[in-house]
């Protein structure tokens, strides 16, 4: 495994951007999976909240 070398990244900003892009892409997919799992487990509660909020908006009109 390659070790982090700050001097190397200072010399090569493209490598730094590529590493950051890989990091954020990997974590983005992980966050999406966790959010979907939460949504699936709490679907009834979420739907109830959405209906309540919609009813409040309609009553304000």
What does the pLDDT look like over 4-38, one tens digit per residue? 777 877 888 888 899 899 999 989 999 999 999 99
Number of domains in the chain: 1
| Inside any domain, residue 55 | yes
Rounded distance between C-alpha atoms, residue 52 and residue 54, angstroms: 5
> Is the pLDDT reported for residue 1 higher than 70?
no
User: Is the predicted pLDDT of residue 2 greater than 80, yes or no?
Assistant: no
* Residue given tokens 């590529």 in the structure block: 18
Domain membership of residue 32 (yes or no) is yes
The confidence score (pLDDT) of residue 56 equals: 92
| Structural domain includes residue 53 | yes
In a domain? residue 1: no
C-alpha distance across the termini of the chain, in Å: 61
- In a domain, residue 2? The reply is no
Residue 3 in any domain: the answer is: no
pTM of the model: 0.48
Residue 53 has pLDDT above 80, yes or no: yes
Domain that residue 55 falls in: 14-60
**Is residue 9 domain-resident?**
no
CA distances from 37 to 24, 27, 29, 51 (A): 20, 15, 12, 21
């Amino acid at each position: 495994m390659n070790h982090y070398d700050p001097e190397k990244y200072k010399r090569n900003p493209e490598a730094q951007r590529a590493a950051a892009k890989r990091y954020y892409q990997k974590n983005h997919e992980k966050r999406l999976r966790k959010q979907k799992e939460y949504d699936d487990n709490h679907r009834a509660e979420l739907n109830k909240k959405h209906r309540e909020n919609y009813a409040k908006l309609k009553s304000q009109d």
